[in-house]
Amino acid sequence: MKVTGLFLALVVSPFAFSGEIIPSNNIEILAINGVKAQSSFFGSKDIEVEDGPQQVVVKYIDSFGNEDFIESRPYIFTINIDGKTSIRTEKFNNLSQATKQIDNGLKWYVKNQKGEFQVEKAEQLKGKGFMPYSDIEAIVAEYNKNNITVADIKNNSHKVPAKNSNALIEQYKISNKAQRKEFKMWLIENETK
């Protein structure tokens, strides 16, 4: 019985996801839909996800020469995954060019089967203290608590992770009183339809 379950898991798992996020060489994916991204044992940075809207947290990391290393703060934005979807930023030739653009705010680009698009609303996350981004899940939860509205959920511009059945409960727990009231009104309105 255990062998059958393992066999089915191996056969079905490659088909569970139809989308893939492919970051460029200088991009690191930190989280998807509020869940910390797992680095691959085999060194691949590509991450399999479901097609559709996905909230991603990424940062720019690059080195210029032996000692010239630079990285940006994490950025958070929602993109539409459609098959193989790549994320990139502009290409910088030297450290000063990269530093200037990081100071001014990076422009992010997404390319999927429908074409290449610039991300319209990419926001920098703000961490606190020493190692400010070590708990990226808590930072994303705090960001979502303050920025995600019921209107965003209605428009499906923010997607709760499908893998975590308790995600909606956790999101409710961290929401403030006004967000809970707004959610209850939305729930009552949509349950009666």
Q: What is the pLDDT along the chain (193 residues), one digit of tens a residue?
A: 444 443 434 444 444 457 888 888 889 999 988 888 876 555 557 888 888 888 999 999 988 877 778 899 999 998 888 888 889 999 888 888 989 999 999 999 999 888 888 888 889 888 877 887 888 888 888 888 887 655 455 454 444 444 444 566 767 766 778 778 888 888 887 776 6
Instruction: Give the pTM.
Output: 0.67
Domain span holding position 33: 17-191
Q: How far apart are the C-alpha atoms of 109 and 37, rounded to whole Å?
A: 20
**What residues are paired with 21 via a beta bridge?**
47, 85
Residue 44 located in a structural domain: yes
Q: In angstroms, how far is CA 135 from the centroid of its own chain?
A: 14
The pLDDT assigned to 56 comes to 92
The pLDDT assigned to 59 comes to 92
Residue 12 located in a structural domain: no
The CA-CA-CA angle for residues 178, 184, 190, to 5°, reads 135
What string of H, E and C letters represents the secondary structure of 107-123? CEEEEECCEEEECCCCE
The pLDDT assigned to 44 comes to 56
**Is residue 26 within 8 Å of 62, Cβ to Cβ?**
yes
Structural domain count, the chain = 1
Residue 2 located in a structural domain: no
Residue 5 located in a structural domain: no
Residue 52 located in a structural domain: yes
